[in-house]
Amino acid sequence: MAPSDAELALRLPAYATRVVSLLEAAGYEAWVVGGWVRDALLGSSGHDVDVTTSAPWQETERVLRAARVEVHETGVAHGTVTAVIGHEPVEVTTYRVEGAYSDLRHPDEVRFVTDVREDLARRDFTVNAMAWHPERGLLDPYGGREDLSRGLIRAVGDPSSRFGEDALRTLRAVRFACRLGFSIEPSTQEALVACAPGLDHIARERVGIELDGIMGSGHMAWALRNEFEVVSRALPDLVPMAGFDQRTPYHTHDVLEHTARVCAGVEEYCGGVTPQQLRWAALLHDIGKPSCWSQDDDGRGHFYGHPKVSADMARRILGELALPKDLIAEVCALILFHDRGVWPAARSVRTVLAKLDERCPGRGEPLAFQLIDLKRADALAKAPGCAAYAVELDAVTIALRQEVSRGATFRVSDLAVSGGDVIRECGIAPGPAVGERLRGLLARVVDDELPNDREVLLAALRR
Ligand code: ATP
Ligand code: MG
């Protein structure tokens, strides 16, 4: 059952109540809006608090500063300032509406208004268009509370015109459906499909934020199966995966359904706390397959080189979406090695650790465990005959744990010799050649050709 107003009042953090009270004591009106109200009505009150107010932003700033509240001008062009009380931020925005969107992405003008209802009307979905006040209670002109209880994402107003104004809302609808586990109301759904092409005109980094949000929900598999028109418009490189018949005995599904199964698989193995890089790797691990496909004389399909092609495509796609560089490097490393054989043997798992750490320094260990989860999900999403490899991967996990706990050598810094030793023993000057020698030694230690013993390694350097 949804919490009562009294329960919500208890949940609203004191710093947010203070912002609302200060503005109202100065003669303005203020409400809590958006995500906090939505999530609090769903029973979780961890969301940041956004406040909307009749006060012009300069007045908000003046009133709060007079009460010794720290205020930052975080988006004054849109009427937003951020109050910070005891390290907790509260975004405070003046009631506003948006003018026409002639370029389908930026409103031509932002107009400040005096009625909170007008501000709610510009918001995207009914569940996001509620305002709440500790004494006045809920203001819900679009039936957001009812939609929350029925689990529905519904556009505020006419869906086609709302998605026509700002096509990013199509992707936001999918993100909220994924995050909340909601369905999309039928006329909103119809408009989503019709308006998804507008995503072509949206800045890639805004698309990136929403896609990363869908990823973060852990329900990308649902989005691929139910909202492919929207997701593939946001990520056009996914299009050739749909219906791509692999024509190999290793695969029962087309590339898209295989990918959806891998996305679902990594969630299952990580109990819902799947690392974001593993999620992206699951989505993109086979994205290069359609372009690598070839057929042999027996009519059998092959995808030679697809891990490298997929990793290169992922690097380009995620770079365009402006996702963090470290994340991109890790996603690409996982994709590059996803199809490489790994066995339950110390040498094999050490090689994986070394290769991953070389690409992503300091990250070899967590990535190796993620790679096994990716490979397990991949194996189980192929033809039934491939499932046995998933069982073998459990043994690989054990071998990996053993190697890690016995302090395996897989980084140059783990070697019993250092750069100084190389310079002295080999008589070479400091420079890139030193690192090369060390990496050469590391490869032989990883390969069990040499023990990680100082005397043995010094002797090897001298030879
Ligand atoms: P989240 O937890 O994902 O941040 P949120 O509700 O806070 O959820 P935001 O993207 O931060 O979502 O946006 C804050 C509020 O601003 C939304 O609840 C919605 O009312 C409004 N909003 C944000 N983006 C748009 C948009 N493109 N069109 C219309 N309204 C929007
Ligand atoms: Mg937010």
pLDDT in tens, 64-110: 999 999 999 999 999 999 999 999 999 999 999 986 666 655 666 78
Q: Could you tell me the distance, in angstroms and rounded to a whole number, from the CA of residue 244 to the centre of ligand 1?
A: 36
Residue 69 neighbours by CB under 8 Å, 6+ apart: 18, 19, 22, 83, 84, 85
DSSP string, 123-156: SSBGGG--EEETTTEEE-TT-HHHHHHHTEE-BS
For position 284, what pLDDT does the model report? 98
Cβ neighbours of 198 (radius 10 Å): 20
pLDDT per residue over 391-424, tens digit each? 999 999 999 999 999 999 999 999 999 999 999 9
Closest CA to 334 of 266, 247, 386: 266
| pLDDT on residue 386 | 77
Segment among 5-9, 227-231, 446-450 with least mean pLDDT: 5-9
Between 15 and 11, residue with greater pLDDT: 15
Alpha helices in 196-275 (DSSP H): 204-217, 220-226, 228-234, 255-269
Average pLDDT over residues 194-203: 97
Give, for ligand 1, the residue of 41, 123, 195 to mutate: max count of ligand atoms closer than 8 Å to Cβ.
Answer: 123
Judge whether 165 and 159 are in contact, CB under 8 Å: no
CA 16, 17, 20, 25: dihedral to nearest 10 degrees?
-140
Smallest-distance ligand from the CA of 209: 1
Within 8 A by CB and 6+ apart from 68, the residues are none
Mean pLDDT of 308-333: 97
Distance CA 165, CA 188 (A): 14
- Give which of 379, 372, 329, 377 is closest to 349, Cα–Cα: 372
Dist. CA 57–CA 54, nearest whole Å: 9
Rounded distance from Cα 359 to ligand 1 centre (Å):
37
245 Cα: distance to centroid of ligand 1 (angstroms): 39
Which residues lie near ion ligand 2 (Cβ < 5 Å)? 35
pLDDT on residue 103: 60
Tens of pLDDT, residue by residue over 316-327, are 999 999 999 999
Ligand 1 atom closest to residue 179's alpha carbon, by position in its atom list? 3
Q: Which atom of ligand 1 is nearest to the CA of 48?
A: 7
Q: In this structure, which residue's CA is closest to atom 2 in ligand 1? A: 35
Contact 32, 20 (CB under 8 A): yes
Q: What is the pLDDT of residue 306?
A: 87
C-alpha distances in angstroms, 329 versus 148, 263, 355, 453? 38, 19, 13, 32
Which residue has its alpha carbon closest to ligand 1 atom 14?
Answer: 34
Cβ burial of 156 (10 Å; 0-12, 13-18, 19+) is buried
Per-residue confidence (pLDDT) for residue 105, from 0 to 100: 59
CB count in 10 Å sphere of residue 116: 20
Residue of the CA atom closest to atom 28 of ligand 1: 124
Residue range 285-297: average pLDDT? 84
List the single range of 196-200, 266-270, 320-324, 351-355 with lowest mean pLDDT. Answer: 266-270
Q: Which long-range contacts (CB under 8 A, 24 or more apart) does 456-463 make?
A: 457/415, 457/416, 457/417, 457/421, 458/417, 458/421, 458/425, 461/417, 461/421, 461/422, 461/425, 461/426, 461/437, 462/425, 462/426
Task: Pick the residue whose CA is nearest to atom 5 on ligand 1.
Answer: 35
Residues 6+ apart with CB under 8 A from 205: 321, 322
Distance between Cα 35 and ligand 1 center (Å): 7
CA of 296 relative to ligand 2 center, distance in Å: 52
Residues with CB under 6 A from ligand 1: 34-35, 47, 123-124, 128-129, 166, 168-169
Q: What is the pTM of this model?
A: 0.93
Look at ligand 1, atom 25, and give the residue with the nearest C-alpha: 124
Give me the pLDDT at residue 102, please: 60
The residue nearest atom 18 of ligand 1, judged by CA position, is: 34
Decide if 65 contacts 71 (C-beta within 8 A): yes
Residue having the nearest C-alpha atom to atom 15 of ligand 1: 34
155 CA distance to ligand 1 middle (Å): 13
User: Which pLDDT value is given to residue 422?
Assistant: 95
In this model, does residue 370 exceed pLDDT 60? Answer: yes
**Distance in angstroms (rounded) separating the CA atoms of residues 283 and 296:** 27
Percentage of the chain lying above the pLDDT 90 cut: 82
Instruction: Return the residue whose CA atom lies nearest to atom 8 of ligand 1.
Output: 35
427 CA to middle of ligand 1, Å? 63
Q: What is the pLDDT of residue 2?
A: 73
- Best of 32, 128, 158, 205 for a ligand 1 pocket test (most atoms within 8 Å of beta carbon): 128
- Two tokens, residue 156: 């505020």
In the chain, the percentage of residues whose pLDDT exceeds 70 is 98
Query: How far is 278 from 283, CA to CA, in rounded Å?
Result: 9
Q: How far is the CA of 454 from the centre of ligand 1 (A)?
A: 59
Task: Kindly give the number of the ligand 1 atom that is closest to the alpha carbon of 213.
Answer: 3
Which tens digit of pLDDT belongs to each residue from 139-160?
999 999 999 999 999 999 999 9
Q: Ligand 1 atom 12: the closest Cα is on which residue?
A: 35
Q: What mean pLDDT value characterizes the chain?
A: 93
Sequence-ordered alpha helix ranges (H) in 385-453: 387-405, 419-426, 432-446
pLDDT (average), residues 108-115: 86
Nearest to 44 by CA among 83, 2, 6, 86: 2
Among protein residues, the one with the nearest Cα to ligand 1's atom 27 is 169
Helices 346-359 and 432-446, axial angle in degrees (round to 10): 160
Among the bound ligands, the one closest to the CA of 44 = 1
For residues 177-205, average pLDDT: 97
Q: What is the rounded average pLDDT of the residues 280-287?
A: 97
**pLDDT recorded at residue 142:** 97
**CA-based nearest residue to 94, from 128, 123, 60, 63:** 60
| Residues whose CB is less than 8 angstroms from the CB of residue 144 and which lie 6 or more positions away in sequence, other chains included | 38, 125, 126, 127, 128, 129, 130
Distance, CA 92 to ligand 2 centroid (Å)? Answer: 12
Entry field: residues in the chain = 463
pLDDT confidence of residue 296: 81
Confidence of residue 446 (pLDDT cuts 50, 70, 90): very high
